[in-house]
Structure 1
Amino acid sequence: MEARGLLIVLSGPSGVGKGTVRSAIFENNPFNYVYSVSATTRKKREGEVDGKDYHFVSREEFEQLIQEDALLEYAEYVGNYYGTPIAKIEENLAAGKDVFLEIEVQGAMKVKQKMPEGIFIFLAPPSLQELESRITGRGTDDASIIYERMQMAREEIDLMQHYDYVVVNDKVKHAVAKINAIIMSEHLRVERVVDQLKLDIHNYFQKVGNES
Structure 2
Amino acid sequence: MGIQINGKGLLIVLSGPSGAGKGTVCSALRQQAPELVYSVSATTRPPREGEVEGISYFFKTRKEFRRMIDQGELLEWARYVDNYYGTPRRFVEERLNEGKDVLLEIEVQGAKQVKECFPEAVFIFLLPPSMDELHARIKGRGTESEQVMTDRMQAAREELNQIHSYDYVVVNDEVARACHHIRSILVAEHHRRDRIFKEQPDWLEGI
TM-score, scaled relative to structure 1: 0.78
Indicate the residue corresponding to 1:24 in structure 2.
28
Distance 1:134 1:86, change over 3 A: same
Aligned: 1:153 with 2:156: yes
Measured in 2, the distance between the counterparts of 1:88 and 1:193 equals 23
Alpha carbons 1:39, 1:54 under 8 Å: kept: no
Residue 131 of structure 1 aligns to a residue whose secondary structure is helix
Equivalences for residues 27-42 of structure 1 within 5 A: 27-29=31-33, 32-39=35-42
Residue 68 of structure 1 aligns to a residue whose secondary structure is helix
- What's the C-alpha RMSD, in Å, of the aligned pairs? 3.3
Measured in 2, the distance between the counterparts of 1:13 and 1:6 equals 23
Q: What's the offset of the Cα at 1:195?
A: 5.9
Equivalences for residues 34-73 of structure 1 within 5 A: 34-39=37-42, 50=51, 55=57, 61=61, 64-69=64-69, 70-73=73-76
Indicate the residue corresponding to 1:179 in structure 2.
182
Q: What's the offset of the Cα at 1:97?
A: 1.3
Q: What's the offset of the Cα at 1:135?
A: 1.9
Distance 1:33 1:136, change over 3 A: same
Measured in 2, the distance between the counterparts of 1:104 and 1:188 equals 27
Distance 1:154 1:64, change over 3 A: farther
The higher radius of gyration belongs to: 1
TM-score, scaled relative to structure 2: 0.79
Distance 1:134 1:27, change over 3 A: same
Residue 135 of structure 1 aligns to a residue whose secondary structure is helix
Q: Which ranges of structure 1 fall in alignment gaps of 5 or more residues?
A: 206-212
Identity between Structure 1 and Structure 2 (%): 50
Q: What's the offset of the Cα at 1:50?
A: 3.5
Alpha carbons 1:76, 1:82 under 8 Å: kept: yes
The structure whose residues are more often helix, as a share, is 1
Aligned residue type for 2:86:
G
Work out the number of aligned pairs and report it: 198
Equivalences for residues 120-131 of structure 1 within 5 A: 120-131=123-134
Aligned: 1:93 with 2:82: no
Distance 1:61 1:133, change over 3 A: farther
Measured in 1, the distance between the counterparts of 2:92 and 2:197 equals 25
Alpha carbons 1:16, 1:123 under 8 Å: kept: yes
Distance 1:196 1:82, change over 3 A: closer
